[in-house]
Amino acid sequence: MSSDPWIWVGALLTLMIFSFLYKDNPFYKFGEHLFVGVANGYYIVFYWHNSLRPNLFEPLGAGEFIYLVPLLLGLMYFTRFIPKVSWLVRIPIGFMIGWGAGLSIPALFQAEVLRQLEGTVVAPSSFTNPMSGIWSLIILVGVICTLIYFFFSKEHKGILGHTSRIGIIFIMIGFGASFGYTVMARVSLLIGRIQFLLGPWLGLID
Amino acid sequence: MKRKIPLGICLIMGIMMIIQFFIPHPVSLGFASTIYKWVIVLMAFALVLAIGNLIRHHTLKIRKRKEDWPYSIVTLFGMTAMAVIGLIWGVDPDSLYQRIFLNILAPLGGTMFALLAYYMASAAYRAFRARSLEATLLLISAFIVMIGFMPFGQYVHTRFPAFAEWVMQVPNMASQRGILLGVAFGSIATALKIILGIERSWLGGKE
């Protein structure tokens, strides 16, 4: 059994959270509330050291007064507590939303649309290995049918009905696979916690 | 004015960010980098606002002695302690802040998500019924991936893990790509609507 107090803290907190499997209880609530508090404290420090200090206070200290603009914009967030000027909170929000929307259009087009289409296109070179060529064809059919399934401007009848039916088959296989993959990711986290309890804490496994 | 100024700022920022992407000139790249720093600062201020709300919520709960109020003390204490430790003693790899992260935050977070394994399994047990062809396909592909990705899959059949990998790489990839393309087009359309001021729900309120 470990003699390191930190290992004991980690193990006891792990058990507190696992106690929820029995039912909601004070130990779980303690762990849950501690998690929320410590996580917020972590982000306060993280944002201070990685955002505010290097990107605002250090440049301002060095005489770069252009950084008064983000300071002013940031302070505008707090105007929401002053009813007469509460509309000013829309200015930093508008700035952030405009930035995000403007940046996302070309980025999405490049990363999601063009790259995905590039990966879907079947060229003669796809058949260098006949099997991978067939898989590429299946992917092409799957992508087209999935897109058709989500095309609601025309009633799904006739050829559109058949293709959207194939589309839903691909979608269901995809949902199932994604679900299975997510479960496996959670199970690997569970294994990690059990290994921690049995290894570093209890010393039953190496 | 209360709506037009924010809408104008949103329009200008949106157009500027699109332009800077297509003109990779040192001036536009410098502009993008400066704006990015400003955005990081604004995110930090938004966090300050969120932390303020959290403190307000828990302080009110304690003051009014609402149900489970003693746990609010735990939250406020955890937050203050972590913040003070990190701000005063720093965040070096061997600092107290990192020790708390590794021995308190990481186990709590890891266990919270590990707990989901039980609930996902129990929800799947209750919800997964092979009532139709679609439901059966979902069920089968989930089982193939789950069994194929664990060592047990090797004992079912030597090629079972490779088959699970194929399910992920071919039919799953096809549907994910279709969905991704749809999401991308939808997001682009929404972003355009926001920049052009057609979508204004972010302004909130009537005035």
Write out the DSSP string of chain B.
-TTHHHHHHHHHHHHHHHHHHH---HHHHHHHHHHHHHHHHHHHHHHHHHHHHHHHHHHHHHHTT-TTHHHHHHHHHHHHHHHHHHHHH---TTSHHHHHIIIIIHHHHHHHHHHHHHHHHHHHHHH----SHHHHHHHHHHHHHHHHTSTHHHHH-TTHHHHHHHHHHTHHHHHHHHHHHHHHHHHHHHHHHHHTTS--GGG-S--
Helix axes A130-149, A158-196, angle to 10 degrees: 110
Helix axes A158-196, B106-127, angle to 10 degrees: 140
Looking at residue A99, its pLDDT comes to 96
| Residue-level pLDDT, tens digit, chain A, 206 residues | 889 999 999 999 999 999 999 999 999 999 999 999 999 999 999 999 999 999 999 999 999 999 999 999 999 999 988 888 989 999 999 999 999 999 999 999 998 899 999 989 888 888 888 898 999 999 999 999 999 999 888 898 999 999 999 999 999 999 999 999 998 888 888 999 999 999 999 999 87
DSSP type of residue A154: S
Looking at residue B206, its pLDDT comes to 67
CB within 8 Å of chain B, chain A residues 20-79: 20-21, 29-49, 51-52, 55-56, 66-67, 69-71, 73-75, 77-78
Number of A–B residue contacts, CB under 8 Å = 393
Distance CA B9, CA B11 (A): 5
The ipTM assigned to this model is 0.85
Distance CA B121, CA B143 (A): 12
Give the largest CA-CA distance in chain B.
70
Looking at residue B204, its pLDDT comes to 82
Measured in degrees and rounded to the nearest 5, phi and psi for residue B87 equal -80, -35
CB within 8 Å of chain A, chain B residues 28-87: 34-35, 37-49, 51, 54, 68, 71-72, 74-83, 85-87
Looking at residue B126, its pLDDT comes to 82
Distance CA B182, CA A167 (A): 13
Spatial CA neighbour of B165 closest among B147, B148, B152, B143: B148
Distance CA B183, CA B101 (A): 35
Residue B137 CB contacts under 8 Å (≥ 6 apart), including other chains: A169, A172, A173, A176
CB within 8 Å of chain A, chain B residues 80-119: 80-83, 85-87, 91, 97, 99-118
On the question of pLDDT at B176 being above 70, the answer is yes
What is the signed CA dihedral for B100, B105, B111, B116, rounded to 10 degrees? 180
pTM: 0.85
CB contact under 8 A, B87 and A45: yes
- Mean pLDDT in chain A? 92
Q: Where are the domains of chain B?
A: 7-89, 91-127, 130-199
- Measured between beta carbons, the chain B residues lying within 8 angstroms of A47 are 43-44, 47
* Token couple for A74: 């940031």
Neighbours of A187 (CB within 10 A): 19
Give the residue on A whose Cα is nearest the Cα of B151.
A184
Q: Which helix (DSSP H) or strand (DSSP E) does residue A158 occupy?
A: helix A158-196
Looking at residue A30, its pLDDT comes to 96
B98-143 pLDDT per residue, tens: 999 999 999 999 999 888 888 888 888 887 777 888 889 999 999 9
Looking at residue B129, its pLDDT comes to 79
Give the residue on B whose Cα is nearest the Cα of A146.
B178
Average pLDDT over residues B77-93: 94
* Token couple for A145: 């049918």
A184 interfacial to chain B (CB closer than 8 Å): yes
CB contact under 8 A, A77 and B174: no
Looking at residue B207, its pLDDT comes to 64
- Measured between beta carbons, the chain A residues lying within 8 angstroms of B48 are 74, 77
Catalogue the long-range contacts made by B195-198 (C-beta closer than 8 Å, 24 or more residues apart). B195/A98, B195/A101, B195/A102, B195/A105, B195/B10, B195/B11, B195/B14, B195/B15, B196/B11, B197/B7, B197/B10, B197/B11
Distance CA B64, CA A70 (A): 37
Looking at residue A186, its pLDDT comes to 87
Distance CA A80, CA A72 (A): 14
C-beta of residue B141 within 8 angstroms of C-beta of residue A180:
yes
